[in-house]
């Protein structure tokens, strides 16, 4: 029933006027500009949150378009430093041209990651759909091989290949591997991914276990109680937790701006009470802050790709007091 209801809400929402979509999305998107993103981060900093910021944009069609993203992220780095914000960057490799020209796209990403490194800032390569999975992993490995180590990627629990990919990065990077694990927003074909909720949750939990066992840094990006409960239990089994130095013998050195081997991550505007509860217990919590002129395209894409968001849309509209960002 919930799935059917969500699809109906999504179907109605994407047909609504742009202003209505904007009203819905303002909870989940910081705004159009860097100043908007800074304002949101300053507010949430009072709740002991840290951040990763994403400049919104759809896949580009020419390399000339990649320059906009490079320039915008360069300005973003400056704004983060000037405002003394505890923030990293999240970038989409396709926005830098990786699928159009692999060599030039890689150079764009490399230059930005180096710029971030000069400011002691971490860069997360967001994982897009399966067309770019291997390329994204390869970029992380290539950068680490060049000695540029302030970079990690995202794995989607729903994909069949994910456990093998975790093992691969462990072999390539050892304790330098730094992951964000999520269920995955992209509804991938059933030939390559789990499609049922319980199967996706189980696969995501298995990925968390594999990452912790590998000594990797594990950023747990989920709003699902079964995933968070499993993560808390797994952390306890490794004697990991707030205020405790990472006790895993195969873990790397402590990382600036990071938790003790792990952190929890959530989208802006989603499960705020749960995030604050985790933060109150001392867990490092990071909020994903998207902003940019492409907010409308981003909002419509997320609704189409994951209709389960529909229930959250309805809740935000009918009962806005129940889920304060």
The CATH number of the structural domain formed by 33-291 is 3.20.20.220
pLDDT at 248 over 50: yes
- Highest mean pLDDT, choosing among 9-13, 143-147, 184-188: 143-147
- For the stretch 180-239, pLDDT in tens is 999 987 778 899 999 999 999 999 999 999 999 999 999 999 989 999 999 999 999 999
Q: Tens digit of pLDDT for each residue in 252-308?
A: 888 888 999 999 999 998 888 999 999 999 999 999 999 987 666 666 666 665 555
Distance CA 139, CA 306 (A): 27
pLDDT tens profile 88-142? 999 999 999 999 999 999 999 999 999 999 999 999 999 988 899 999 999 999 9
List, by residue range, all CATH 3.20.20.220 domains of the chain.
33-291
Quote the CA–CA distance of 293 and 123 in Å, as a whole number: 21
Q: How confident is the model at residue 322 (pLDDT cuts 50, 70, 90)?
A: very low
**Pick from 252, 88, 259: which is nearest to 177 by CA?**
252
- Give the chain's radius of gyration (CA, Å): 19
Dihedral over alpha carbons 84, 85, 89, 95 (to 10 degrees): -80
Q: Give the count of beta carbons closer than 10 Å to the beta carbon of residue 197.
A: 13
pLDDT of residue 129: 86
- One DSSP character per residue, 157-194 reads TTBTTHHHHHHHHHHHHGGG-EEEEE--SS---TTTB-
């Amino acid at each position: 029933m919930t799935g059917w209801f969500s699809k109906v809400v999504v179907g109605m929402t994407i047909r609504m006027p742009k202003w209505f979509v904007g009203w819905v999305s303002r909870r989940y998107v910081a705004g159009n500009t860097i100043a908007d993103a800074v304002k949101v981060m300053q507010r949430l900093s009072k709740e002991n949150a840290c951040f990763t910021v994403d400049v919104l944009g759809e896949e580009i069609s020419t390399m000339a378009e990649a320059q906009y993203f490079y320039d915008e992220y360069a300005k973003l780095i400056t704004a983060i430093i000037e405002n003394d914000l505890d923030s990293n960057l999240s970038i989409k490799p396709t926005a830098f041209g990786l699928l159009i020209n692999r060599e030039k796209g890689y150079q764009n990403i490399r230059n930005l990651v180096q710029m971030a490194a000069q400011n002691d800032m971490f860069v997360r390569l967001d994982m897009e759909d399966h067309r770019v999975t291997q390329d994204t992993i390869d970029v992380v490995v290539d950068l680490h091989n060049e000695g540029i180590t302030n970079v990690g990627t995202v794995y989607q629990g729903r994909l069949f290949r994910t456990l093998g990919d975790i093992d691969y990065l462990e072999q390539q990077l050892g304790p330098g591997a730094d992951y964000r694990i999520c269920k995955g927003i992209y509804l991938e074909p059933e030939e390559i991914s789990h499609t049922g909720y319980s199967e996706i949750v189980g696969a995501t939990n298995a990925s968390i276990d594999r990452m912790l066992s590998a000594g990797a840094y594990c950023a747990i990006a989920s709003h699902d109680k079964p995933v968070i409960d499993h993560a808390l239990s797994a952390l306890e089994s490794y004697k990991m937790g707030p205020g405790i130095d990472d006790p895993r013998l195969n873990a790397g050195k402590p990382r600036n701006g990071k938790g003790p081997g792990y952190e929890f991550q959530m989208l802006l505007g989603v499960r705020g009470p749960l995030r604050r509860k985790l933060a109150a217990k001392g867990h490092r919590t990071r909020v994903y802050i998207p902003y940019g002129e492409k907010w409308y395209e981003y909002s419509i894409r997320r609704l189409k790709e994951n209709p389960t968001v529909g229930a959250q849309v309805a809740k935000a509209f009918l009962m806005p007091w129940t889920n304060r960002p």
